[in-house]
Each structure stands twice: as C-alpha cells, then as structure tokens.
Amino acid sequence: MNQQDNNTIDFGFSQVPLNEKVKKVKSVFDSVADNYDLMNDVMSLGIHRLWKQQTIALSGVRPGMTVLDLAGGTGDLSLAMAKKVGKTGTVVLADINESMLRVGRDRLIDAGVGSQVKFNVANAEALSFPDNHFDVVTMAFGLRNVTHKDQALAEIYRVLKPGGQALILEFSKVHSPLLSPVYDVYSFKILPKMGKLIAKDEASYQYLAESIRMHPDQDTLKQMMLDAGFDRATYMNMTGGIVALHRGWKF
C-alpha cells in the first residue's frame, strides 16, 4: 500500500493527501493519452506487445465469454479479446480516465469490433457491475496507479464468476544483479527524457518510473490477491522481472 498514515498515500516518491491521488493520476494520463501507444512501443522496444500476447494466451478467453478489461486505457487487450469472444461474447473496456477511454473507443470502432465492446468509466475500487458477472478480468499496467490496491483486488474478485480468472499484468521488481542497475539508469535517466522528446511530457514519465518502484513486489502482490479472497494465486516473471503476470482464480 505504501501508505504512510491515514491521510496520505504515495504518488511516485512523493506523498499526497489520499483524496488527491485520483486527480493527480488522472492528470498524468490526460497528458499522455494521445501519445500513450507510441510511447509504449518506444520505451519497451515493442516488448509490451509480447507481454500482452502472453496474457491473452493464458486468459483462456473463448467465444461467448464476458470479459472485463479494467484500466484498459487505449484498448490493446480489449481488441484482442473482442476477436476471441466473437459475436456471442462481450468485452467491457473500463477506465477511470475518460481521455484514455476515448482513445480506446475510437481505436476499437475503427478496428470493427465496436459492437462487441462496451465502454465504462469505472473506478477499480468501486465497480458498478454485479457479483459473479465476468468470466475473465484483466488489468494491465493499471493497478500501481490505484489508491487502495487491496480494495481494487477485492472488487475484481467480487465481479468474477465462480471458476473465473483474473490476470494482473504489471511492472514489478527486477531481481537480477546485472539487469537491475541498467534498468535503474534507463528508468530514471533515459525514460523521462524520452517522454519529454516524444510526448512533450517529462514529469509524467518520471512519475511512471517512480510509481513502478513503489508498487508491491511479486510475492507481496500474490499475498494481497489471496487476502482479497482469491482461492489460488500465482505469478510469472517476464523480461527478468521488469514485468510480472499475476493470475488469481475464484473457485
């Protein structure tokens, strides 16, 4: 949680009042929405596409399923899952940030899957969906921005059907003594400068690097999922732990 007291919460390496974090995160993603996909490709050298492909492959999404893409932003996962659920299934692309959701909606409509996707402005900590509603819930690179992560995980568990699976794809902790210092230099020296050059926004990508370091590590997040009610939770590291895919099941 990284919450220092009852009134403040981390925003990168800074502490801000609890009731201001959502507004500050919204400001970050309002700023980067139009260049978000381009920056993802540039800053990960395109590897984020492989991380997401692996997430989809392990999701088990099939025709006719109902899927929630939470904090789905510009719709990478929603697009892939809409093709898998087909005309008989439904994907809900949900995000708290309307700027990101607008980019995602336009993208999916242009891709011809708009009829299979519903769009929802949603706070992960207080979802409006009924209990036991979704076969699969995904959340890619969104959990670290949530104020109360334990509450969001409990909500994901609540809206999953019995037998359903949640997949949380998120930056995590690098354990390699060789990769770790290189990754630190890249994160804090190069990434913000890339943000300044490409997205004209250095501060948002400085926050990105800081928010990754403040996010719970692999084992901590696994235990948080179990504490939220998941009957089973596992994780797999990708690219040396730069990213981890956590999976939780509701039986």
For residue range 124-152, what is the model confidence (pLDDT) as tens digits?
999 999 999 999 999 999 999 999 999 99
Q: Is 5 annotated as a binding residue?
A: no
Q: Is 124 annotated as a binding residue?
A: yes
Q: What is the share, in percent, of the chain residues with pLDDT greater than 70?
A: 98
Q: Is 2 annotated as a binding residue?
A: no
Greatest mean pLDDT range, 43-52, 152-161, 194-203:
152-161
Per-residue pLDDT at 135: 98
For residue range 175-196, what is the model confidence (pLDDT) as tens digits?
899 999 999 999 999 999 999 9
DSSP 47: H
For residue 43, CA distances in Å to 15, 217, 236 come to 26, 21, 22
Which alpha helices (H) appear in 86-178, and where do they start and end? 98-110, 149-159
For residue range 32-67, what is the model confidence (pLDDT) as tens digits?
888 888 889 888 989 999 999 999 999 999 999 999
Domains and CATH numbers, the chain: 25-176+205-249 (3.40.50.150)
Other C-beta atoms within 10 Å of 154: how many? 17
Q: Is 123 annotated as a binding residue?
A: yes
